[in-house]
Amino acid sequence: MSAHTSPLTHDVIIIGAGVSGIGAGIRLLAAGIDNIAILEKAADLGGTWRDNTYPGCACDVPSALYSYSFAQKPDWTRAFAGQAEILDYVRGVSERHGIGDYIHFNQAVERAQWREAQGLWEVQTSGQIYFARTIIVCSGYLHEPIVPNIPGLQDFPGKVFHSSRWDHDHNLTGERVAVIGTGASAIQFVPEIQPVVEQLTLFQRTPQWILPKPDHPIPRVEETFFRLPGTLKAWRKLLYAGFETFGVGFRHPAMLRQAQKLGLAHLRFTIKDPELRARLTPDYTLGCKRVLLSNNYYPALNQANVEVLATGLKEVRGKTLVGQDGSEREVDTVILGTGFHVTEPPIAERIYNNAGESLSQLWENGMQAYRGTTISGLPNAFMVLGPNLGIGHNSAFIVIESQLNYIVDALTTLRDRQLARFDIRREIQDRYNRKVQKDLQGTVWNTGGCSSYYLDKHGLNSVGFPWNTLKMQRLLKTFDADNYHL
């Protein structure tokens, strides 16, 4: 306690200044809730788009859809924007709304605990204690990197880094490099590093479904068109409808066969070596893992300095990497494209109820929330991008903005009714989750025959949203006060 300066008290504390946290700040200010603080662990905003700077990092959702509905941008340079342009966009929106004034940088939350007696959250960072009537957890769900616990990896004598912590000071030119994992991140950086490294070895545990990416620079004429009143909004709706239609397939996997045919044709067209093609051919239903888009990943694998080992990594002996199948390769650098802690998010270890139980403990049988947003036993708390709000291939902005509608409606309702406390009723949360799990049964995530970050260690799908995004918007449109203890 003594190390902390005197407490600061706010109406709302937002944890994280990424896309969700900045959006939350903007929406709260617009609703007249301005005694807020956004606690950001880093020295800069932007969340995932600040952290992921690996070569080739870009969005696999079209820019017009991957943006706030209230801050459309007519002059994206590409149909699918790159990391730097997205980060610039997020910064620009934050600046235009004066959000910077509310962000407290270098404030990593160490512990947030509900104090029933005071009716407040006590939020501790390394140097400060804050109190707030409400917290909004906006820490992102693809955030904390997984560093696999592989024997010998810690003693590897060369460089090891995770894709989301790219070491730009390390020069890969002329090196022998191993990439562990072949997910959305790896397929973006592999084509970028392939031309400069001497040898590139991919440890591929599971092949991915990869469709062509309809990406292209946006010509000036198109930009002019997007500046016409209403055009950008119509285009966004069209893209939304397209993705929504594709999303029907996640709930009715038989419909994904056509997309699988496209994936196989893409593979046949670009990979001529039948052995390599066999190694790259998925044996599960498309959509079971996130569908990937790329035009340059397969061509990179055709190059003479690239080798794909169809195996995970078993152990590391000195500079030698040993695959599960016994194959051995000596390398200079290891890049981990091994993804993120999704179903056991580390933030859950730092959030406590009044009795001192952590959210991780409350979630020991799997993550659960009501409408992905509130959690029984944690009064006056919201979580953005919470459990079972994963919609497959669509824009996270749609989810975030749906939740912000609910959160702002909740806070303004409570303000208008002069209520200080809300807690979702346990039975309502349980009933909601029984329905979620029932309706997830037939989805591609549950039946597609793969392992993925949708499923937790108990086999529970605590990530996927079983319905369409129109239903999500409906569920989160207004705060249903009757379902809460107030």
User: Sheet containing 306-309: which strands, arranged edge to edge?
Assistant: 159-162, 333-336, 176-180, 199-203, 306-309
Span near ligand N01 by CB under 6 A; candidates 118-126, 203-211, 357-365, 418-426: 203-211
**Given candidates 16, 56, 140, 183, which one binds ligand N01 under the rule CB under 6 A?**
183
- Choose the stretch contacting ligand N01; rule: CB under 6 A; options: 68-76, 183-191, 209-217, 410-418: 183-191
Mark 340-365 as b/e (b = at least 16 C-beta within 10 Å).
Answer: bbbbbbebbebbbbeeeebbbebbee
Per-residue binding string, ligand N01, 52-91, x by CB under 6 A, is -------xxx------------------------------
Tell which phi-psi region holds residue 80, choosing left (phi > 0), alpha (psi between -120 and 50) or beta: beta
Measured in degrees and rounded to the nearest 5, phi and psi for residue 14 equal -105, 130
CB of 454 to ligand N01, least distance (A): 10
Is there binding between residue 313 and ligand N01 (CB under 6 A)? yes
**Taking CB under 6 A as the rule, does residue 180 contact ligand N01?**
yes
Other CB atoms within a 10 A radius of the CB of residue 229 amount to 6
Binding-site size for ligand N01 (CB under 6 A) equals 25
User: From the CB of 325, what's the least distance to ligand N01, in Å?
Assistant: 12
Q: Quick one: which of 41, 73, 111, 205 contacts ligand N01 (CB under 6 A)?
A: 205
Nearest Cα residue to 38 out of 48, 50, 26:
26
Calculate the alpha carbon distances from 458 to 79, 129, 345, 364 in Å. Answer: 39, 36, 15, 10
Residue 348 DSSP SS3: helix
Report if residue 294 touches ligand N01, rule: CB under 6 A. Answer: no
Question: In a 3-state reduction of DSSP, which class is residue 72?
Answer: coil
Give the range of 39-47, 131-139, 175-183, 405-413 binding ligand N01 by CB under 6 A: 175-183
Which of these segments, 6-14, 105-113, 199-207, 434-442, binds ligand N01 (CB under 6 A)? Answer: 199-207
In whole angstroms, the minimum distance from the beta carbon of 63 to ligand N01 comes to 11
Binding of ligand N01 at residue 339 (CB under 6 A)? yes
Give the integer Cα–Cα distance in Å for 153 and 141.
25
Of 59, 54, 57, nearest in space to 73 by CA:
59
392 contributes a contact to ligand N01 by CB under 6 A: no
Give the interface segment with ligand N01, choosing from 19-27, 129-137, 200-208, 374-382 (CB under 6 A). 200-208
